[in-house]
Amino acid sequence: MTQTLANRKDLDKYIIENLDRAISEEWIKAYHQPLIRAESGRVSDEEAFARWEDPEWGVLTPADFLPVLEKEKLTYKLDLYIVERVLKKMVGQAEHGLFVVPESVNLAKSDFECCDMVKEIAKRIDASGLSRDKLSVELSEQIISSDMGFFKTQVNRFQKEGITVWMDDYGSGHSSLLILLEIKFDLLKIDKIFVDQIEKHAAGQIILTELIKTALSLGMYTVAEGVETKAQADFLKEVGCTKLQGYYYTKPISLADIINRNDTGTQIGFENPAEMEYYDKIGKVNLYDLNISRGDDASLNNYFDTMPMAIFSFDEQNVYFLRGNKSFRELFSNYHFNIYEKSVIPLESLKPGPGYYAFNCLRKCAKDGKRVIIDDRLSDGRGIQLFIRKIADNQVTGASAVAAAVLAINDKAVDNLTYNYVARALSSDYITLYFVNVDTAEYTEYAADGDSRDISETNKGTDFFNIYRESFGFDVPKEEKKQLQKDFTKEKVMQEISKKGIYSTFSKINIGGALIYVNIKAVKVRGEGNYIIVGINNVNEQMKAREEVNLAKEERQVYSRIGALTGDILYIYTIDLDTFSFVRYNPTNVLSDMGMPEAGENFFEEVVKRIPQGIYKDDVDQFITAFTKENVLNEIETKGLFENHHRLMINGKPRHVITRANINREDDKNVLIFGIIDVEERVRRDQEYEKHIFAAENKANIDELTGIKNKHAYADTEKRLNYQIERKNVSPFAVAVCDINGLKQVNDTLGHQAGDKFIRDGCMIICHYFMHSPVFRIGGDEFAVIVQGEDYANIDSILKSFNQNNLKNKENGDIVIAVGASKFDGDDSVSIVFERADEEMYQNKKALKA
C-alpha cells in the first residue's frame, strides 16, 4: 500500500473504523521471521510481524496502520491480537511435530496507557496452555527512554511473571548506556545501522564488537537485525553475537509457509529447546575478546594482531569445529590444516604427531572441565602455547564444547631430547628437570613438552647447588629456603645417592601465586662422567590429602564448640572450590528432612536433588532460583556474602532458617563455607510485631463507618502523587469529587442511624462505578476518588453512567450523588486537579437540584 493509492486521511479514518472488524474477521495476519542461533545454525526464536490484508485497500504494511493506531491509542488491541495469533500458531506448530521456540511481539507505548499489558499478556499465555517463557516482548529504545522509570517497573513485572523482555533498536538513540544502567533486559537487539557498517568501515566493526561485549558483560544476549550478507553473518558469529536476523536467512513468513517448508525439506530447522542452554553459553564467547598490542611480543607480532581463538565440540566419536576467528583460521591454514565451519574430524583419525597432544588435552578438558595451559609443537618444530577451557555440556547429545586460545608461538624450533631413562627414574609429574655436572656444578634446565615424552632445553647455568643464585628459578618462602639450603648440598645429595640410589626431599614453592608442595629427586646418570639428573615434582595433591585428614578432625572440634556456644547454628558445610566436594558439621545433632550426607562429591547437585523433601513447598521455587553455584559465587563476589531466607523441613515441619555463605582462605586455598542458622523464634517475634504494627496503621487509615480509606489515607496518597509529579514520573490519573445529596434531611427526619446507612449506601454506589480506583471518605457526605488504570481510560463513560443513575434515582426518590471529575494535565500539584473536580461537582449538584 502506498500513499499514491488513496488520500491519507481517508485511509486513517478507514483503519480506525475497521480495526475491530479486521481483527474479528482475521484480515490481520501474523508473519514470523526467524532468529538464527549463531552456533547451531537453527531457528532459536522468531519475531512476529502484523500484515493487514484488506478486502478493499489490499495489503497494508505496519507503516500504513501503526502510526494512526498509536495516535488514537488503539495499538493495544492490535498487539494483544497478535499475541493471541502467535500463541495459536505455536500450538499448531506443535501439532505438526515441530519444535516450538520462543517468539517475540513488539509493544507500543500507548499499550500501557490503555490497559495492564503485563496482566493481559500473562493471562493469554496461561489460557493457551504454553509456558510463559515461550513468549518474549520487545520494547524499543525510543519507547523506554520516553519514561524510563515507568518502563523499568513494567520490565521488572514482565520478568517476574516469567516473560522475557528484549530491547529493540539498541544503539539507535542517545540513551542506550543510560538505559542499561537502570534496566536489566534479557536480550538486546542491535540496530541495523551498525550491521550495515561491517563491510564498510573498520571503525564500524570495532563499535559493533564493543556493543556486543558490553551486552555479554552485563549478562544479556544479543541479536543483530538486518543481516543481509554472508560476510556480515560470519563477522557477527566471530565476535560472539548470539543470534542473527535478516533477509540473508529469510523474510517474515506465515505459519502455512513454515509447515510447507518443513514438509518439503527446505526449512532452516527449529532448535531443540532442550539444547538452548548449551548454545547460549557457546554464543556468549567473544572470539575478539583477547587483543594483543603490536610490539609487545615479537613472536606473536609476526603472525597476528588478535589472539587466535576457536571453539570445538567433542562427543564420543568426533571433534567438531564450531567457529574460529580470522587469526586462528589463517594461522592453521599455513600448516595445510584448513578448518571450515561445522567440519567434523573423527577422533580415531587423530594420530601421534604435531597437534596430537593438544587435541588430547582439548578432549580431556571436555570431560573433566579443568582449565589448562599447555605447550605443544607445530609441524615445523616451533612451540605453541594454548589456553583451554570448557564452555558447556549438551544435555541432549552428550557433546561438550571447549574453547582454545593461542597464547604464544616460539620464533624458532628448539632442540629436543628423548628421556626414556628419565621417565623411568623419576615420576612423570615433574615441573622441571636438570642435567647436572657434579664436578663443575654446571647444569642444563629442561621443561616438559607433552605426551610425546620429549623435553626441551630452556636454560643453562653454573653453581647449581647454590639456591640463592640469581638464576634459581623458583620462589621459595624464606623459612623453607633456609632449610632447603641445609638439606640440598652437593655432599648430602651424593651421600644419599651412594647409600640408597636416589636422593629425595620435600619443600614448598610459589607457582602462580599459590604455595605448593614439591618433591626434589636426584639419580646418578649411568655411563661416563659424574652426572646426575634432578627432577622437581608437584606432590601438592598427595600432601594436601594428608593434611586434610588432620584438618577435618580439627574443624569438627572447632565447629562443635561454636555450636555449643551459639546454640542456633544447625549445620556448617565446607566446600572445596575446585572439586565442590564437601564435609558437613552438625553441632546440634539435629537431622533435617533434607537428608544430606556428612560428606560428598558435588555439594550443589546433592542439595538440589534433595530440595523437594528438604525445603518447604512454598519456598522451593525461590530456593531453586537462588541456590545455584553461579548465583552463590556471584553474590559473594558482588555483595561480599550470600544469604537466603527459607524454611527447612525438620521432622515434617517447616522451620525458618538463614543460609549464609562466604569464601574463606584456608591453608593457601579458598574454600566455600555455608552456615545454616535457626531463626524460627526470631521470625515469630518479628511477625507478631509486624501484625500489631499493621493493625494499628490500618485502623488509622480506614473510615470506621464505610470501611473505605479515610481523609488521612487521602492525604498520604496526595503527598505521594505530588512527589511523583515533582519527579515527572507520574502515571496518568484523574480526581473525582462526590457529594451525597439530602443527608441533612435524612438525619433530621429519620435520625442518625438512618443517616449512617444513607452514607454507606451512597459509598457503595461510588465504589461500584469506580471499581478499579481507590475511594476515600474525606468528609461527612463528601468522597474523593483517585481515578487510574482502566477507570481512567473509561472515565467519560463512567461519568455518563453515573449521571444516568442519578436521574433514575431522583425520579424514584433514591440516593442522588453529585459528581465532578478532572484529569491531571501537567499541573503543579494534586490540589489543583481537586479544585477543578470540586467545581465540576458543584455545577452537577446545581443541575440535579434544578
702-849 homologous superfamily: Reverse transcriptase/Diguanylate cyclase domain (3.30.70.270)
**For 133-174, how does the pLDDT look when each residue is reduced to its tens digit (9 = 90+)?**
999 999 998 899 999 999 999 999 999 999 999 999 887 776
User: Could you say which of 1.10.260, 3.30.450, 3.50.4, 1.10.10 is the CATH number of the domain covering 416-538?
Assistant: 3.30.450
Long-range contacts of residues 839-842, Cβ cutoff 8 Å, at least 24 apart: 840/737, 841/737, 841/738, 841/739, 842/818
Identify the pLDDT of residue 690.
Answer: 56
Most confident residue range from 298-307, 520-529, 552-561, 777-786 = 777-786
Cα–Cα distance measured from residue 723 to residue 728, given in angstroms and rounded to the nearest whole number: 9
Q: How confident is the model at residue 335 (pLDDT cuts 50, 70, 90)?
A: low
pLDDT of residue 428: 47
Residues 470-494, mean pLDDT to the nearest whole number? 83
Which of the four pLDDT bands, split at 50, 70 and 90, describes residue 515? confident
pLDDT at residue 415, rounded to an integer: 40
Q: Please, what CATH class does the domain formed by 298-409 belong to?
A: alpha beta
What distance in Å separates the CA atoms of residue 680 and residue 754, rounded to the nearest whole number? 50
Give me the amino acid identity at 719.
K
Q: pTM score, two decimals?
A: 0.49
d(CA 187, CA 170): 10
Q: Which three cell numbers stand for residue 489?
A: 648440598
Report the candidate in 288, 181, 192, 282 with the shortest Cα–Cα distance to residue 238: 288
List residues bridging with 524 in a β-sheet: 532
Q: What is the pLDDT of residue 499?
A: 87
Digit-coded pLDDT (tens) for 356-394: 778 888 888 999 988 888 877 777 767 788 889 999 999
Q: The sheet that has 642-650: what strands, in order across it?
A: 599-600, 582-585, 569-576, 670-678, 653-665, 642-650
The pLDDT of residue 567: 47
What is the C-alpha to C-alpha distance for residues 252 and 254, in angstroms, rounded to an integer? 7
Distance CA 522, CA 125 (A): 73
Task: Name the residue ranges covered by the structural domains of the chain.
Answer: 3-283, 298-409, 416-538, 544-684, 702-849
pLDDT computed for residue 124 by the predictor: 95
| CA 524, chain centre distance (Å) | 59
At residue 294, the pLDDT reads: 34
**pLDDT of 186:** 92
Contact 700, 677 (CB under 8 A): no
Identical fold at 544-684 and 702-849? no
Q: How confident is the model at residue 291 (pLDDT cuts 50, 70, 90)?
A: very low
Contacts of 677 (CB under 8 A, 6+ apart): 568, 569, 570, 657, 658, 659, 660
Q: How many residues does the chain have?
A: 850
pLDDT at 823 over 90: yes
For domain 3-283, the question of CATH label 3.20.20.450 is answered with yes
Cell of 557: 572440634
Confidence of residue 425 (pLDDT cuts 50, 70, 90): very low
Is the pLDDT assigned to residue 409 strictly greater than 90?
A: no
Residue 352: predicted pLDDT: 75
When pLDDT is averaged across residues 679-694 and rounded to a whole number, the result is 69
C-alpha cell at 441: 656444578
In this structure, whether the domain defined by 544-684 belongs to CATH 3.30.450.20 is answered with yes
Q: What is the pLDDT of residues 561-602, one digit of tens each?
A: 454 444 478 888 999 988 999 988 887 788 899 899 989 999
Beta bridge partners of 649: 654
| Residue 845 clears pLDDT 80, i.e. is over it | yes
Q: Does 48 have pLDDT greater than 50?
A: yes
Digit-coded pLDDT (tens) for 62-79: 999 999 999 999 999 999
Residue 339 is predicted with a pLDDT of 57
